Amino acid sequence: MSNQTGQITLVFEHDDWLLCFKPHGMNFHTEEGELGFVECARQLFGIELWPVHRLDKATSGLILLAKNKVSCSDLSAMFFAHQVEKYYLAVCENTIKKKQGKVSGDMAKSRRGSFKLLKTQGNPAITQFMSKSLMPGFRLCLLKPKTGKTHQLRVMMKSLGASIVGDKRYSGLDSDRLYLHAYAMKFSYQSIAYEFKTLPIEGHKFSSNEFKEAVEGWSEPWGLNWP
């Protein structure tokens, strides 16, 4: 089901959950009469589904939906306990303050629904990252959030002086989409290990040969030497 944006596709089906690809530009929940991702998925697959985690409207990529309340509770607990490894791809300007490292800090509400990163460490948002040259003026970043705060990755990139391309809310360059994609996921469920990844399919920079070459070395992000 497309909902005037892109196509929801099934990546993997388990007896207890589905792993799906969410296109960018699709609301997560139904808003103002426009069907959201969860409801579109329910209609597409013809079953009741429960959201376990979420992605911003402008972000594409992997997302889990539970098939029953028990698995929803179990999977949600795994996310809360940071037992699910998540990896994102982002394109930013080549103005990033450092090429790899870790960003940690509390997040506070700012103006008009935005957030800002603080220097305090009471309940910090934590993200590891690495980057490489993509094309003149731009870098490709691989982001590994250790926490799951609202707008965490977008705020982190702005704090590094290189907002994500297409992120108007956080001063990113104007573009055809927000260049943030939920790329890969790794977790164990009922003692079985799962590893998934899916490349973005929308956006000029994500479709370029430069992107395809740059992302090759990150085909198994869980095996990289993270800073």
CATH number, domain with residue 15: 3.30.2350.10
* DSSP SS3 for 186: strand
Within this chain, do residues 8 and 55 fall inside the same structural domain, yes or no? yes
126-168 pLDDT, tens digit each: 999 999 999 999 999 999 999 999 999 999 999 999 999 999 9
Is 67 a residue whose pLDDT tops 80?
yes
- Give backbone dihedrals phi and psi of 208, rounded to 5 degrees, phi first: -75, 155
Give the C-alpha separation, 190 to 184, whole Å.
Answer: 20
* Domain boundary residue, one of 64, 81, 98: 81
Q: What percent of the chain has pLDDT over 70?
A: 97
End-to-end CA distance of the chain: 39
Is 74 a residue whose pLDDT tops 70?
yes
Active-site annotation holder among 16, 56, 74, 167: 56
On whether residue 34 sits in a domain, the answer given is yes
* Annotation says 56 is catalytic: yes
CB 53, CB 64: distance < 8 Å = yes
- What is residue 32's predicted lDDT score, i.e. its pLDDT? 82
Within this chain, do residues 51 and 131 fall inside the same structural domain, yes or no? no
Token duo for residue 207? 């479709």
- Give backbone dihedrals phi and psi of 31, rounded to 5 degrees, phi first: -140, 130
Over residues 178-202, the mean pLDDT reads 97
CB 73, CB 116: distance < 8 Å = no
- Of 86, 111, 53, nearest to 226 by C-alpha is 86
Within this chain, do residues 60 and 97 fall inside the same structural domain, yes or no? no
What band does 33 get if pLDDT is binned at 50, 70 and 90?
confident
39-64 pLDDT, tens digit each: 999 999 999 999 999 999 999 999 99
On whether residue 227 sits in a domain, the answer given is no
Is 183 a residue whose pLDDT tops 70?
yes
Domain that holds residue 137: 85-185
- What is residue 103's predicted lDDT score, i.e. its pLDDT? 97
Within this chain, do residues 127 and 45 fall inside the same structural domain, yes or no? no
Q: How many domains does the chain have?
A: 2
CB 142, CB 130: distance < 8 Å = yes
Token duo for residue 128? 């590891």
